[in-house]
């Protein structure tokens, strides 16, 4: 439980920071795509007797570099990306079927299992988090500029293409972490939903990131507590809380947006 | 910069900005190679449409000033002052704290122009700044650009489809004809034969006794 709490906290912070840019850049589908590309990495790693996190990271970051190099909107080329995803998930299933302790890994990757997080993974996640936060701080303004419009940013000599690849690599790392918490199928609710909620609540970039982070922490912590109290799957509780907050903010949003 | 659809106006603009390499020859702009000067600002067509509801007008303009600086730092009070002054200069100060998505087309165009201006460029390039604006907003944006040109001394090059709204402020025009760029003063450009050839449809220049000038089709 202690590991779950620490791991959940690390992931919540990383997902909150990167989620803001995912929403502003309009690459929500790319985040979704990376989670699915990670599946064969995870099940393949199990098949080869390697750590799941390693397999996930290699596939997510690899996929991220490809999507990033193709340009910002590549993740939203729906048919091509959807086809690649379907194949990736199929491949994940195949690897899983070849491995002996397959079904539990498969379920863990698809839906996450915060309670199965190991101390070694915590160390890796902490390193990922420090890396992600440090890089985002360093490139914050040019990344935001490039996210708003690539042409204008390029004309001002912002290295848009390099930033695009860099951002996708960061996203790949965050996806690797987040899959552990909520799984590939529910990842959207941790990486995209709280950031979208935060942006509905405030248009100020710094505040939106801080708020996304707080909402993520709230979802993960409260989710863990509720899951323990009622013996429910933690992923389900975390996702339910994040989505409920989003829904409430969205439904009550119109009236508030005017004064903010 | 005028010419029919597909004649290469936007392409030429992208070359000037260093966004596209030239196949042959060299381009110099303000004495430097494209993409090597900080003195050029660019407003693409439908610029702020993509930014959606995430940012306020203020943040959008701030990017023109601080969007190229690395490292994590807050926008200083002096920078905010400059951003606010620029929003006043484009007559959009009243929407400075609104989200971009809540602004009208004319207001967004002003915000986009403010973002370009805040870096104090010598040359402002605009791609179809009048597209999707109603007549009143077209007139106001043109007056604004004219004023910026005369008070701040910024040279303005804009890509335009329709000459008429611009005739009273133009000094001259670059026109792309048969694969070549030409430049002429306003009087040279508003010529029946040239415009008819350029647009591939019969056009007449009409001068009224009051001194008004406009171009019309048959």
Rg (CA), chain B: 18
pLDDT averaged over every residue in chain A: 87
Judged by CB atoms closer than 8 Å, whether chains meet at A140 and B55 is answered as: no
Reading the block at residue B105, the tokens are 């087309």
Say what the ipTM of the complex is.
0.88
What stretches of A49-118 show up as alpha helix (H) in DSSP? 52-70, 78-98, 102-111
C-alpha dihedral sign at B168, B172, B174, B178 = positive
* DSSP-assigned beta bridge partners for residue B41: B124
Q: Do the Cβ atoms of B173 and B189 come closer than 8 Å? A: yes
Judged by CB atoms closer than 8 Å, whether chains meet at A141 and B40 is answered as: no
Judged by CB atoms closer than 8 Å, whether chains meet at B69 and A138 is answered as: no
When scoring A152, A196, A209, A256 by the number of chain B Cβ atoms within 10 A, the one with the most, hence best to mutate, is A152
pLDDT band at A21 (very low <50, low <70, confident <90, very high): very high
When scoring A156, A163, A199, A212 by the number of chain B Cβ atoms within 10 A, the one with the most, hence best to mutate, is A156
Span A27-57, pLDDT tens digits = 888 888 888 888 899 888 888 888 888 999 9
C-alpha dihedral sign at A77, A83, A86, A88 = negative
State the pLDDT at residue A258.
46
Enumerate residues 6+ apart whose C-beta is below 8 A from A9.
A217, A220, A221
Span A153-196, pLDDT tens digits = 988 889 998 998 899 999 999 999 888 888 888 888 899 999 99
CA A87 to chain CA centroid, Å, is 21
CA distance A11 to A8: 5
CATH code: domain B40-155 is 3.40.50.300
Alpha-carbon distances, residue B182 vs A219, B1, B13, B71 (angstroms): 62, 10, 14, 44
Reading the block at residue A19, the tokens are 């989620």
pLDDT at A257 over 60: no
pLDDT band at A260 (very low <50, low <70, confident <90, very high): very low
State the pLDDT at residue B51.
57
* DSSP-assigned beta bridge partners for residue B157: B125
When scoring B63, B74, B100, B128 by the number of chain A Cβ atoms within 10 A, the one with the most, hence best to mutate, is B63
What residues in B contact A201, CB-CB < 8 Å? none
State the pLDDT at residue A240.
94
Q: Do the Cβ atoms of B51 and A149 come closer than 8 Å? A: yes
Residue B28 burial (C-beta neighbours within 10 Å; 0-12, 13-18, 19+): exposed
Span B151-186, pLDDT tens digits = 988 999 999 878 888 888 888 888 888 778 889 988
What residues in A contact B102, CB-CB < 8 Å? 257
Nearest CA in chain A to B50: A148
pLDDT at B30 over 60: yes
Query: What number of residues does chain B have?
Result: 218
State the pLDDT at residue A85.
82
Judged by CB atoms closer than 8 Å, whether chains meet at B55 and A24 is answered as: yes
State the pLDDT at residue A11.
92
Give the pairing type, strands B123-127 and B155-159.
parallel
Span A107-124, pLDDT tens digits = 888 888 888 888 988 999
Element (H or E) spanning A224, and its range? helix A205-230
């Amino acid at each position: 439980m202690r590991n779950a709490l620490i791991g959940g906290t690390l992931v919540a912070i990383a997902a909150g920071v990167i989620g803001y840019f995912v929403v502003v850049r309009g690459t929500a589908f790319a985040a979704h795509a990376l989670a699915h590309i990670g599946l064969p990495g995870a099940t393949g790693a199990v098949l080869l007797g390697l750590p799941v996190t390693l397999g996930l990271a290699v596939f997510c970051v690899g996929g991220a570099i490809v999507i990033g190099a193709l340009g910002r909107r590549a993740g939203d080329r729906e048919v091509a990306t959807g086809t690649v995803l379907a194949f990736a998930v199929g491949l994940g299933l195949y690897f899983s079927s070849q491995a002996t302790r397959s079904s539990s890994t498969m379920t863990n990757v698809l839906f996450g299992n915060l309670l199965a997080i190991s101390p070694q993974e915590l160390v890796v996640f902490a390193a990922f988090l420090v890396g992600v936060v440090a890089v985002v701080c360093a490139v914050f303004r040019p990344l935001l500029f490039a996210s708003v419009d690539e042409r204008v940013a390029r004309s001002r000599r912002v290295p848009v293409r390099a930033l695009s690849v860099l951002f996708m690599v960061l996203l790949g790392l965050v996806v690797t972490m987040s899959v552990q918490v909520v799984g590939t199928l529910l990842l959207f609710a941790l990486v995209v939903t709280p950031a979208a909620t935060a942006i509905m609540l405030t248009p100020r970039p710094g505040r939106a990131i801080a708020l996304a982070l707080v909402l993520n922490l709230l979802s993960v912590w409260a989710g863990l507590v509720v899951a323990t109290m009622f013996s429910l799957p933690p992923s389900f509780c975390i996702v339910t809380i994040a989505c409920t907050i989003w829904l409430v903010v969205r439904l009550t949003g119109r009236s508030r947006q005017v004064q903010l | 910069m005028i010419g029919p659809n597909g004649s290469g106006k936007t392409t030429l603009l992208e070359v000037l900005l260093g966004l596209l390499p030239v196949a042959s020859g060299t381009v110099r702009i303000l004495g430097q190679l494209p993409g090597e000067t900080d003195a050029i600002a660019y407003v693409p067509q439908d610029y702020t449409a993509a930014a959606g509801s995430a940012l306020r007008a203020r943040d959008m303009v701030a990017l023109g000033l601080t969007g190229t600086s690395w490292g994590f730092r807050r926008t200083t009070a002096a920078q905010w002052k400059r951003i606010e002054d620029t929003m006043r200069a484009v007559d959009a100060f009243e929407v400075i704290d609104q989200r971009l998505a809540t602004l009208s087309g004319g207001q967004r165009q002003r915000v986009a122009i403010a973002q370009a201006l805040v870096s104090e460029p010598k040359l402002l390039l605009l791609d179809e700044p009048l597209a999707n604006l109603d007549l009143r907003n077209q007139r106001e944006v043109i007056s604004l650009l004219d004023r910026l040109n005369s008070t701040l001394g910024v040279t303005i090059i804009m890509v335009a489809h329709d000459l008429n709204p611009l005739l009273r402020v133009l000094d001259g025009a670059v026109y792309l004809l048969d694969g070549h760029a030409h430049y002429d003063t306003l009087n040279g450009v508003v010529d029946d034969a040239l415009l008819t050839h350029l647009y591939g449809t019969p056009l007449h220049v009409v001068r009224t006794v009051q001194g008004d000038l406009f171009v019309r089709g048959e």
